[in-house]
Structure 1
């Protein structure tokens, strides 16, 4: 500490705690209208201020420790600093973390009282302990916070040999015992994240405790000290400096210990750091938080902290199992990785298959896979192939798993390869106070919530894509709905959507605020209000239901209290009035069978045995299975396809010449199409009842990862084909649910067991969602419709 900073204290006397507080206040500019200044009156930058505060407190503690009786070399007593002072990262108004270490002498309690009392009396925050070296190590052995703190221990006063002994032993104890503590370390980190939120994407980030904050940097340093990971790189160190400088300026502005940055403090802090405004600061902090959080995620996985310990048989440890998840994608241990023969450079869909598998299973993508994909995965050529678009929709429909997958892809530049437009909203802070997240995280969270609502719409693919894009026009200086609609048209065309779907997607983005604004600002029962909405939407009932679901997803992802029962009720009432004005929803219709399929049916009828035909174009195939028109043919045909890992994207069912015809549009999940002869043999066995489909499909679903716990609740809708009430000549039942292995087999089996004779069916798989329509004769028994619905819903769950 410079001589001029000691105030009026005579050089021959020991400075008091009051002197310490006055000198600290001078550094912080405590007087009204003053700025934090050094001895020459110039304002100290955040780094220089921390250095000055560390020097000031170290000088005072050294002098006061001698007066309190902390002896020198050979006396067996030492004063150590841990925490911010130990690291010389002392920010304004930090507590002093001090440890008085001794060799067991009884007089140490009196020394401690003389040390601590002046600090307590002056109001300086103090976290203190008095221990022998053995006691300190014992506490550290079972208290994680103490163990991490001792890694920063630095000598302040007294017998330096005691300090060296404790610091050396604490570091060695950490290195040798860290692997046993990794599980507890990972759990404590995640509990802290749950309490404090994130630094990245949050409007009011906790710079110290939040995910991606300064506490996480301490964990990275501790893992590096144990030689489990490399020292954090330059990007993480730059993030550390920004967070530390921001925290320093926040406390200087607030004049009290605060770690949560509020928007109203942002402009002043940004100015002190040389940034344009609070929005520039928020964007920089979000990027910094993402860098640190990603580094710690990778570190915890690399050390095995997030993976349950594998059992050891004798002295041999089994290698992690490699289980196929999709074509070119495997689960390696607890990470989604590339298959050994996968070639990202020649497979434009591999990137999204990896991402979709990670989202579906909840397992992270292996860093090595991200590196390989980043080096060689091409941007899908526009228009995207249908199967690549399906994988995108499957990823977007993965729910909460989507957030971490998008973060990993974005950190490695892969997300921008899919959506170049994303750069304008990345880490973009919101201008609306109701928003709790940056714009990019809001879009991802809205999409994750939309995944819970896919059964409320007939086009779940458009709902998910629209949720991802609805605020993409922000940050461009114009009406974001108008700009976003143009961007949605651009993206939709690149994804290969048909022109009517592109128009619907663009209209979703253009009008995503129409329902909430109208419902909360106008009379929803007023006929003119209803017709205004209907006319704006062009009388399109599909667009109406998409906007209804998007309004909820958008509101829930905005922040707490934005989606309320009152708002939901108003919007639902408005939508109901609009549906009446639109005069209903068009019924699904069967798709016609082509001449080749009819000819196959006639051939099977003449031969009197089941048959199949496979027509393949690239990876997309049409499999037509024909057999005598008896109950169970549809479910068994679908079961054979699922058993061979064929993913059904569409299906049509009909009859001709007394033969049931089931035509499926499929792609293989792995490898190439199976041999048609194998399919024919299995189909014949399934029809005869000698192939145990249910047992084999249940085992296959377990191998594939099972059903998602947060899958949306399945929903059934009924449409009457003819006028005359619910028991008309025929009905169409539409099932909306999450797709799963053998879904069509299970649903068709449930219908067949309910005594339903399916006249035709139309199946559509949209990413991870299924929208399947079945037409059959209406029943006459009381409650028949409810009985069928219950059976189908049970099968779909």
Structure 2
């Protein structure tokens, strides 16, 4: 494609009498990188020395018009080398693009001189431009998301896409760092192949892998199905995104600091901290000292635990060596291996980059062989924002705040990690049932005692039960409570674990999965079940404490009643209405629609009237909707 376009441009330049000296047709973008796609734009620069402006404008018209008439998507400019340098200095995106400037036809020395000047200016201004470059990376990642985990990734703009490869080239051009030489080019070319197939299948310049085009792209590229296509895109984008993270980190560390001028010669030695087990910490990275062999079975777990707990990253060389040489712990795992594993998982959000580095190196699948079944596996529910494996790790990170609130934080972490292990290819809606025995097998391989492995299996099997009962069943129906009590084996500590797992899972999925409405329903049902398990008759005690007069008034005229009660922890609403299926969920939704968060809820019925108490996060009545309005809505 690139050679065909270039040949046409060279012929056009010659046909219209393009001068060999003082003027050149140059290219940037995908044409300059020889990565042109079927529907890519052609980015051209007519470069001139500025000596014959009248002639160059006429020549430009003769050059552009045939291209426009042919229907080519053309982005063009006419500039001198000085004007190129000026634009590059003012606009970051233009400056990065001009680093690829390459001759198509005409004066090669003019183009080479212009490109040399652009590269020199880029390097000399590295201190100034690097913060701007990194800010643009963060902004684009926030707005476009991560191509490795999106259901419809933007192959060009999202993290791990083509723009990130341009950023890698720009960062290496500063001479502050070098881009990774291994593991980047192949996934990048794979994404280019997907883009080319997407252009052909859609018939337009489409860079987002939308669901409607994915089947045709998968067929064209001879993938088994669209899941296999998405998995390939995810793995490729992960490699590129990880390479960008490492390169950015190296660039920040290499950026020269401003120092006070001194004539005293000082010998600079590397500064590192010696850590246990032959590990060292240097420049924010965990590595191995000279005497430590990466083949030691527990070293990967210990390095991951140290990096995650300290908020550091694994040295790229260390991660690569661990992936290539480290063996798995003995099966079942010794206690030291489990301790290091739990230490890594209990580090909150810090576990995510460490886990990703170990996963890319191949360590995770060696420790948990069944992890491979969900690695880069796409989700089929729009509520989810991540692939199955990333969602599982995000769930572990979300569980961090619950670790001091459960009796077995180790079981909670393991259940969070393995709760979706059954979502392999073809699992469908039965992934919890499929994943439960897989989770137990993994727990046993890690050396958990039989009762603990059985508990992990139970939590994985029922990780959706609480949410489904809370949002689809009547809380006042005894069968609802019976189903939940049966799911937790009648044990309060298991109910607590399941409640924390449910919240962590929902928060990791996305805002839609843990809305105020859903959280209120889940917490209310869990609280009712908890009261039942500890032997409290919450319904009868509440009816005695609640306003029996409210219930009597509702029975007389059928109209709902609401009483507001200020409490130390926030306002409490007592709402009485004729009991009906869905009343509780409708009330929760009504409060959520007015941005009122529910801290807890207690339900009861008396003579066909539901009298429910809602503890809210609001402190003053003025922050609530008008009570008469709420009554009308009920």
TM-score (ref. length: structure 1): 0.61
1:542 aligns with 2:493: yes
What is the DSSP-based 3-state SS (H/G/I as helix, E as strand, rest coil) of the residue aligned with 1:512? coil
Q: Which residue in 2 is equivalent to 1:135?
A: 83
- Tell me the equivalent position of 1:280: 228
CA drift of 1:125 comes to: 4.1
8 Å Cα contact 1:183-1:305 kept in structure 2: no
Query: Superposition pairs for residues 123-162 of structure 1, below 5 Å?
Result: 125-141=73-89, 143-162=91-110
Does the 8 A contact of 2:179 with 2:243 survive in 1? no
CA–CA separation in structure 1 for the residues paired with 2:72 and 2:294: 59
CA distance in 1, matches of 2:402, 2:205: 43
Describe the SS at the equivalent of 2:184. Answer: helix
Match of 2:273 among 323, 329, 336: 323
Q: CA deviation at 1:163?
A: 2.4
Aligned length: 529
User: Gaps spanning 5+ residues in structure 1: where?
Assistant: 1-49, 586-797
Q: CA deviation at 1:454?
A: 2.6
Q: Using the alignment, how far apart are the partners of 2:131 and 2:215 within structure 1?
A: 41
Write the distance in 1 (CA, Å) between the matches of 2:332 and 2:131.
46
Correspondence for 1:337:
287
Aligned to 2:507: 556
Q: Tell whether 2:150 aligns with 1:199.
A: no
Distance 1:160 1:351 in 2: 52
Is 1:84 matched up with 2:30? yes
CA drift of 1:468 comes to 0.3
d(CA) in 2 for partners of 1:551 and 1:115?
Answer: 63
Change (3 A) 1:504 1:95: same
Rounded to whole Å, the distance in 1 between the matches of 2:252 and 2:318 is: 20
Larger CA deviation: 462-471 vs 427-436? 427-436
What's the secondary structure of 2:379's corresponding residue?
Answer: coil
Q: Deviations over 1:607-634 (max 9, x none)?
A: xxxxxxxxxxxxxxxxxxxxxxxxxxxx
**1 or 2, which has the higher helix percentage?**
2
* Aligned CA distance change for structure 1 residues 333 and 500 (closer, same or farther; 3 Å): same
Cα distance in 2 for partners of 1:454, 1:539 equals: 22
- Mapped to 2, the partners of 1:450 and 1:231 lie a distance apart of 35
Change (3 A) 1:156 1:368: closer
Q: Secondary structure of 1:497's match?
A: coil
Task: Say yes or no: does 1:404 pair with 2:353.
Answer: yes
Q: Is 2:368 the partner of 1:419?
A: yes
Q: Secondary structure at the match of 2:330?
A: coil
Q: 1:533 to 1:581 in 2, by over 3 A?
A: same
Contact 2:324 2:361 in 1 (8 A): no
Cα RMSD over matched residues? 3.1
Is 1:301 the equivalent of 2:252? no
**Corresponding residue to 2:206 among 255, 258, 265:** 258
Note closer, same or farther for the CA distance 1:476–1:140 as it changes in structure 2 (3 Å cut): closer
Further displaced range: 572-581 or 491-500: 491-500
Please name the residue that 1:103 is paired with. Answer: 49
Please tell me whether the aligned partners of residues 234 and 376 of structure 2 are also in contact (alpha carbons under 8 angstroms). Answer: yes
Secondary structure, counterpart of 2:252 in structure 1: coil
Instruction: Confirm or deny that 1:431 pairs with 2:377.
Output: no
Of the three residues 308, 314, 317, the one matched with 1:365 is 314
Q: Which residue of 1 aligns with 2:525?
A: 574
Task: Classify 1:384/1:196 alpha carbon distance in 2 versus 1 (closer, same or farther; 3 Å).
Answer: same
Partner residue of 1:73?
Answer: 20
2:340 & 2:85 partners in 1: Cα distance?
53
Equivalents in 2 of 1:461, 1:359: separation in Å?
A: 16
| Whole-angstrom CA distance in 1 between matches of 2:496 and 2:351 | 23
Measure the CA separation in 1 of the matches of 2:96 and 2:311: 30
Larger Rg: 1
Q: For structure 2, which runs of at least 5 residues remain unmatched after alignment?
A: 537-634
- TM-score normalized by the length of structure 2: 0.75
Cα 1:402–1:129 shift into 2, 3 Å: same
Question: How far, CA to CA, are the matches of 1:378 and 1:241 in structure 2?
Answer: 31
Residues of 2 paired with 1:186 and 1:488: CA distance? 40
Aligned-residue offset at 1:474: 1.9
Could you say if the C-alpha distance between residues 62 and 140 of structure 1 is closer, same or farther in structure 2, counting changes exceeding 3 Å?
Answer: farther
| 2:338 is aligned with 1:389 | yes
Cα distance in 2, alignment partners of residues 245 and 201 from structure 1: 19
Contact 1:186 1:306 in 2 (8 A): no
